[in-house]
A = this chain, B = another copy of it.
Amino acid sequence: MNRDRKIIAIDMDGVLADIEAQFMAWYKKEHGVWISREERLGVPESEGFPDKTSIKKYVYTPGFFRTIPVMPGAIEAVKALMEDYEVYIVSAATEFPQCLTEKMEWLNEYFPFISWKNIVLCGDKSIIDTDYLIDDHCKNLDFCKGKPIMFNSSHNINQLHHTRVMNWNDVLDLFEKERSSAV
Contacts and interface: CB of A to CB of B under 8 A. Distances in A.
A121 B124 contact: no
Contacts of A127: 7, 9, 88, 120, 128-130
Interface string A34-72: 000000000000000000000000000000000000000
Contact of A122 (B1, B101, B122, B130): B122
A124 B128 contact: no
Interface string A114-157: 01111111111011111000000000000001000000000000
Given A127-B9, A127-B130, A128-B129, A119 B101 contact: no
Copies of the protein in its oligomer = 2
Interface of A: 1, 3, 7, 9, 88, 93-95, 97-98, 100-101, 104-105, 115-124, 126-130, 145
A95 B118 CA distance: 10
A123 B129 contact: no
A130 B145 CA distance: 12
